[in-house]
Structures are given as C-alpha cells and as structure tokens.
Amino acid sequence: MNALSVHKQYSLRQHNTLGFDQLAEHFVVASNDQQIEQAVALAHSNKWPLRVIGEGSNIVLTQDIPGLALHLGDDTIHYDATGTAHQTLVSVGAGANWDHLVHDTLLHGLNGLENLSLIPGTAGAAPVQNIGAYGVEVKELIESVRAFHIGSQQWHEFSKDDGDYSYRHSMFKKNTGQYIISKVTLSLGQQHALKYAYKDLHSYLEECHQMPPTPQQIRDAVISIRQSKLPDPDLIGNAGSFFHNPIVSTQKSAALKQAHPKLPVYPVDTQSAKISAGWMIDSLGFKGVKQHGVGVYEKQALVLVHFGDASGERIIELANQIIDRVQERFGVQLHIEPLVI
C-alpha cells in the first residue's frame, strides 16, 4: 500500500480558481479508495478537521484551512464494455477534469454532456452542486455516485434518487463535509435527445447554419459562448456565477416583470419562477466595477473576479454590497453560490 505523502503549510493558490493565497495546514493527494481511507484515518487519529479540495472552482477561501485538505487524484475514465452506443455507463474518478471527461465521452460517440462543456472543476465536484448550463443539469445523466462517509467510515453507492438533486443543490451539498466522493457513474448514449433550445445556444447555432446540430457542434457552440461571456480562470480569478438565480413565487415574478419588463424570468413550475440575478446586478450598474483588487466581470454581472492581490474577505464584502442593493431595489434576497470557507 502506497504511503500518503503529507505536505505541511501548503499553498492552495493553485487549488482555487479565484486564486486566493491561503494555506492548508496539511495537504495530501489520495488516488484510490485505500488512500482515501488512510487519509480519513490520519485526520481522525490527529483530530484534524478534513476537507476535500478539488480544482477549487466553486469555493471562496477567506482563511487558511486547519487540519487536512484532501485532493483526489483518480482521474481514470472507464467505459462499460457491455454498453452500446445507445446507452453506456461511464465511471469517472473524482479527480478527473470535468471538461476532459466531456471531450472524451464525445470522442467515444456518447452524447449527453455536450451542453456542460468547459465548466471548470473536477468530476467529483459535479454532483455536489448539480452543475448545469445551457438547459442541462448533470443530475439528468447521473446513474450513481460512490462516496465514503467520514463519520461511519463506510462506503456507499448512491443512486440518482438518493442524491436528491435540485438547482445547484444535492444531498452532498446539504451534508457538506460528511462525504468524500470517489467515483461518479454517468449514463450516456445516443438516446439522449440533444438540447439546444436555450436562447443564446439556439441563436448561435442558427447563425452558424448548424440546425439541427451534432453533439460536437453543440459542444463547440457552448465553448464559444462561454469564452465570450465568462472569464478564463487561468487569466482572471473567478468561481463562475457568484450568486444563484433566485427562485421566487410566480406572483412575485409577475410583479417584478411588470415593474421591470426586461427582467428575464424562467418558469420553474406552476408555483415558482427563476429570475435572472445577472440582469438585476447589471441594471444596478455593477458590471465592470473594481474595488480593492476584486470586481464584477465586465461581460457578465453574475461573475465576481479577483485581480490577483486581494483576499477572499474583499470579494465577500463586494458580494454583500450587491446583495444589499438587490434587496433594496427588487426586494429579492440573493444567495452566494460557491462555498465560502
């Protein structure tokens, strides 16, 4: 059995896409189930709190991490040999880069993930916040999730229903810090109808005369749209959308729409509707604002950015100013989407 190598006072700058320079008191990489168990035992015997850090694309570090930060190293992708082009189970190690997985599955002729192209982060993080973009959420493709429960030190295989997935939420997010996800199994294949009704995606494909599109054309379009609106974390620190799009009652959304006819409103069900946080923030004039080394991205008001020399606290200050102004103007409470540590 391979011994774990423990790094002390390890900089997490390369492990969070906002690029905040906080330290982990201890840092290890676990590349298989046995090493995950060893890491948990190590934390347990030293009474260290334990936290999983993937690519850190959905966290805001406002302080150093005490105890043990665990990074998952398994990035293997396994295609079920009994699968067909119509339905194949694909199991991916939690440490795999998400977009590499999307690219690889399309190369294998399996569609389903194309709308989720270029989302930063690891495969293991995808179920936690039920990543979604351009009309697709990963919950639609998840078959099961293998995870280690830290408290009882037991392995579990969670079915799609056990995951209790909803908009940017899941059982794993509700129980943050209790599970270590080691593998995600997705059900992919040609039977997944392609989805391209999302406004920006549809217009882009139409303009490129790619109707009906292939899965690869959808991937290319999503990449191009994302690159035009969202900052590349390698160039400007960011964690994607910094706020959820709030879900309000249909009554409230109708009143808001009457007062602000341009506000984008997306019906969720008969009772509720999602409203565009980006539009509200934009209309308050925040787009492109810069203060104390952080700011609001100039092309997408829902994305907060870090220019390289600030702390996580600064971005939370800016987020709170935005939350207050949106509450004041629209009577709507915004919630921060990434996990604030």
User: Where do contacts with ligand EPU occur on this chain (CB under 6 A)?
Assistant: 133-134, 200, 229-230, 240-241, 244-245, 264, 276, 278-279, 282, 287, 300-302, 337
Report the C-alpha gap between 308 and 267 in whole angstroms: 38
Strand partners, 180: 148
| 30 in Cβ contact with 93 (< 8 Å) | no
Closest residue to ligand EPU using C-beta atoms: 240
Nearest distance, CB of residue 315 and ligand EPU, angstroms: 15
Q: Which residue, 48 or 167, is less far from ligand EPU as judged by CB?
A: 167
Residue found under tokens 């960011």: 238
Q: How many CB atoms lie within 10 A of CB 315?
A: 29
Nearest distance, CB of residue 132 and ligand EPU, angstroms: 7
Q: Which residue, 64 or 200, is less far from ligand EPU as judged by CB?
A: 200
- Residue 202, phi then psi, degrees to nearest 5: -60, -50
Q: Which residue, 182 or 245, is less far from ligand EPU as judged by CB?
A: 245
Q: Which residue, 74 or 337, is less far from ligand EPU as judged by CB?
A: 337
Candidate list 168, 219, 226, 314, residue with the active-site label: 168
Nearest distance, CB of residue 321 and ligand EPU, angstroms: 16
Residue 308, CA distances (Å) to 20, 299, 341 in order? 8, 19, 18
Report the C-alpha gap between 280 and 245 in whole angstroms: 10
DSSP state of 245: P
Nearest distance, CB of residue 269 and ligand EPU, angstroms: 17
Residue 241 is a catalytic residue: yes
Amino acid letter for position 299: K
List Cβ neighbours of 108 (8 Å cut-off, separation of 6 or more).
79, 88, 90
Query: SS3 sequence, 140-209?
Result: HCEEEEEEEECCCCEEEEEECCCCCCECCECHHHHCCCCEEEEEEEEEECCCCCCCCCCHHHHHHHHHCC
Candidate list 182, 241, 253, 276, residue with the active-site label: 241
Nearest distance, CB of residue 339 and ligand EPU, angstroms: 12
Residue 168 is a catalytic residue: yes
Q: Which residue, 16 or 276, is less far from ligand EPU as judged by CB?
A: 276
Nearest distance, CB of residue 299 and ligand EPU, angstroms: 7
Q: Which residue, 28 or 284, is less far from ligand EPU as judged by CB?
A: 284
Signed CA dihedral, 9, 72, 58, 223: sign only: positive
Q: Which residues are catalytic?
A: 168, 241, 337
